Amino acid sequence: MIKKLTYIFCLGVLATACNTQKVAKVDKDNTEVVSASSKIIQQTLSKKSSFKDLTIKAKVSADLGDVNATIAVENGQKIWVNATKFGFTGARALITPDGFSAFEKLGGTYYEGDFSIANKLLKVDFIDYQKLQNLMLGKVFVDLNPTDYTATFTDNQYTITYNKNQAIATSPKEGEYIQTYVFDNGFRLKEAHLKDPKRKMEVDLAYDNWVKAGAEEFPKNVKIIIKEKKTRQIDLEYNSFTFQETNTPFSIPDGYKKKEIK
């Protein structure tokens, strides 16, 4: 399961210049405090990606071990991932708004599907292409709005909670999530907590060590923890950010067998 999840999420999951942008730590202390709930939510939503092409060199750690990955993102259009072990390609994936394809060399198998399959694996119902890209890059990946969510500022950070959290905790329904999102004082996403009490499932995400690359801000570390009958964890370590188009070849090799995702 964790192997499949890694494919979907990072591989899968596993402007600008033609060279790697200088990366600097983000200054978290020079930000004016915003107090009104609706204004806080608007500020978090304003943190959108404006790049055209982004290439990330990353390390992906999961239960089955570590792999190195090159992640190429064409903003809003495509995520391409090439995962390597000992310098050799072990898996490759292509994710677009229409769905995803991925193959693994070791087993000679490939996967194909749309986002209904990704949602099934992640035990959620809100993931589409843009939300997946946002989730990977530390941007807001749910439809926050001032009507359904309330924001507060305490201990030098902003917390946004779903207004129906208490009702869901009292009378759980499948597919409804208790939701809490935490942002630093610069409106950068720090944590996201989603809990489905009906299915006894939780998804926790953490974004840490934010850096500035060019005009963009990115987390260097992303942690995903899925708690169900077992606890599974994926750690993403982003080592470099380059604003350039990358060659992204993708085709399913001849003779590979399609594997169903369950």
Count the domains in the chain: 1
Least confident among 15-24, 42-51, 60-69, 157-166: 15-24
Query: Amino acid identity of 246?
Result: T
In a domain, 170, yes or no: yes
pLDDT at residue 115 in the model: 85
In a domain, 256, yes or no: no
CA 232/CA 225 separation, integer angstroms? 6
CA 204/CA 224 separation, integer angstroms? 6
CA 104/CA 166 separation, integer angstroms? 43
pLDDT at residue 63 in the model: 77
In a domain, 219, yes or no: yes
- Residue-range definition of the domain harbouring residue 167: 2-243
Write out pLDDT tens, residues 113-147.
Answer: 888 877 776 666 778 999 999 999 999 999 899 99
Mean pLDDT (the chain) is 85
Q: What is the pTM of this model?
A: 0.84
143 strand-pairing partners? none
Confidence of residue 214 (pLDDT cuts 50, 70, 90): confident
Check if the beta carbon of residue 71 is closer than 8 Å to that of residue 242.
no
Provide the CATH number for the domain around residue 54.
2.50.20.10
